[in-house]
Amino acid sequence: MNFKKLVTFISMLVFSLVMLYPFYFMIETSFKSKEQFLGAPGHSLASWRKLTSAMPIWTQLSNSIIVCSGAIIIILLLSTLAGFSLAKTRFRGTPYFFLGIIGAMLIPLHSVIIPAYVNISRLNLLGGYWGAILMYAALGVPFATFLMTSYFRGLPDELIEASIVDGLSFARVFLRIALPLSIPAIATVVVLQFIQIWCDLLVGLLFLQNPANRTLTVGLGALSAGRTTDIPVLMAGSLISALPAIIVYLIFQRQLAAGLTAGIGK
């Protein structure tokens, strides 16, 4: 191993340790009681036993799944249709529409959160899941459409034209040809949006007004907002919150890499 590779290896090792230490701290602290966290020796399962009484962890976990699933379904439906249309149809406004999508990606969340809150409250959607689902979908559609458009542009036009000549309608070409070939891009959208929505606090805090509909991240935020916070209990809840995003990433990491590479390269 030459000097350059050695320096690269050591740098990556140090960077990995820095990135993994918070996760180690979270696991190690979750297996302590409050007294053990403050200095008493040993480990215990006291914090895990307290977690279910401190917050409705399983209800909030199911709420997170409902909100994530609903938003991702809407994002996939709109982005795949819009991406295929922008990539494979020709009309005068296509470049401007695509530039508008790119411009929407550049708008910071904090600049639209107040008008979005006002509009959704006027529709009386703050009491259930739909306010958060629609907000997450609106935030995720521009990037997903950009990625799907880039991916569909990589599909040969000859393949689409040959399918139409064989008698398939444009809609059937989309369903039978384009969608199956775009699985890597779809997996990329699912993983990125799942991690973004699952870990978000601001939108869930504002658009899920009913405490019974709180997501897990919002519940952990409320748990840590008290005057006295039981850190081991909070770490136990944070570990449960982090595991689904990690699992989804590990399962779809190959498709994620393939989708991002294809989207950028084409």
Mean pLDDT of 159-163: 84
Residue 248 pLDDT greater than 50, yes or no:
yes
Mean pLDDT of 195-210: 90
- What are the pLDDT digits (tens) for 117-138? 999 999 998 888 999 999 999 9
- What are the pLDDT digits (tens) for 2-14? 778 888 889 999 9
- What are the pLDDT digits (tens) for 163-190? 888 888 888 888 888 888 888 889 889 9
Mean pLDDT of 148-173: 85
pLDDT of residue 227: 59
- What are the pLDDT digits (tens) for 203-233? 998 999 888 899 999 988 888 776 567 888 8
d(CA 233, CA 164): 59
> Which residues touch 159 (CB under 8 Å, ≥6 apart)?
177
Percent of the chain with pLDDT over 90: 27
51-265 classified as CATH 1.10.150.120: no
pLDDT of residue 1: 59
What rounded mean pLDDT belongs to the chain?
86
Tell me the pLDDT band of 262, cut-offs 50, 70 and 90: low
pLDDT of residue 108: 85
pLDDT of residue 261: 66
pLDDT of residue 81: 92
d(CA 253, CA 258): 9
List Cβ<8 Å contacts ≥24 apart for 93-101: 98/149, 101/142, 101/145, 101/146, 101/149
d(CA 108, CA 10): 37
Residue 266 pLDDT greater than 50, yes or no:
no
- What are the pLDDT digits (tens) for 40-99? 888 888 889 888 888 888 899 999 999 999 999 999 999 999 999 888 887 777 788 888
d(CA 5, CA 56): 49
Structural domain boundaries of the chain?
51-265
pLDDT of residue 265: 47
Q: Which residues of 135-170 are buried (b: 16+ CB within 10 A; e: fewer)?
A: bbbbbbbbbbbbbbbbbbeebeeeebeebeeeebee
